[in-house]
């Protein structure tokens, strides 16, 4: 899946977590994209089996779409925490950098970071 598709899935997941329901207009506002651009992307995600559209235009992630989005959110939160712990940066900088890193980091490196954080937390 391309980075743009991941961004859409993550945004839908977070908006649903915050608001309970999500429509294309909510995604467009959150990302600063045009409604037609978001509609095309939603059609593609639907065709790929990551998204369903309810009767009232509500966006609903499929099981696979939800899994991908949840993993992305966990990855961003973990990388943000790691950067704040090790790079002495503020939360906004850590979140921005984590957003960029999460699309390119290997599973092995990410697992190592997760293990590092766990070990540090156990010491405290």
| Domain 71-123: top CATH class | mainly alpha
Q: Each residue of 5-62: pLDDT tens digit?
A: 899 999 999 999 999 899 999 999 999 999 999 999 999 999 999 999 998 989 999 9
Q: Do domains 3-67 and 71-123 have the same CATH topology?
A: no
Question: How many angstroms separate the CA atoms of 57 and 80, rounded?
Answer: 33
* Whether pTM exceeds 0.85: no
pLDDT > 90: percent of the chain: 85
Query: Which residue ranges make up each domain of the chain?
Result: 3-67, 71-123
What was the pLDDT predicted at 36? 93
CATH class of the 3-67 domain in this structure: mainly alpha
């Amino acid at each position: 899946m391309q980075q743009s598709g991941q961004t859409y899935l993550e945004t839908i997941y977070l908006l649903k977590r915050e608001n309970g329901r999500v429509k294309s207009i909510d995604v467009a506002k959150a990302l600063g994209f045009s409604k037609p651009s978001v509609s095309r992307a939603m059609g593609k995600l639907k065709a790929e089996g990551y998204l369903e559209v309810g009767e009232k235009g509500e966006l609903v992630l499929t099981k696979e779409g939800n899994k991908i989005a949840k993993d992305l959110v966990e990855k961003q939160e973990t990388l943000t925490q790691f950067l704040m712990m090790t790079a002495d940066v503020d939360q906004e900088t850590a979140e921005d950098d984590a957003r960029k890193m999460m699309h390119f980091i290997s599973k092995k490196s990410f697992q190592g970071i997760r293990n590092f954080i766990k070990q540090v937390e156990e010491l405290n």
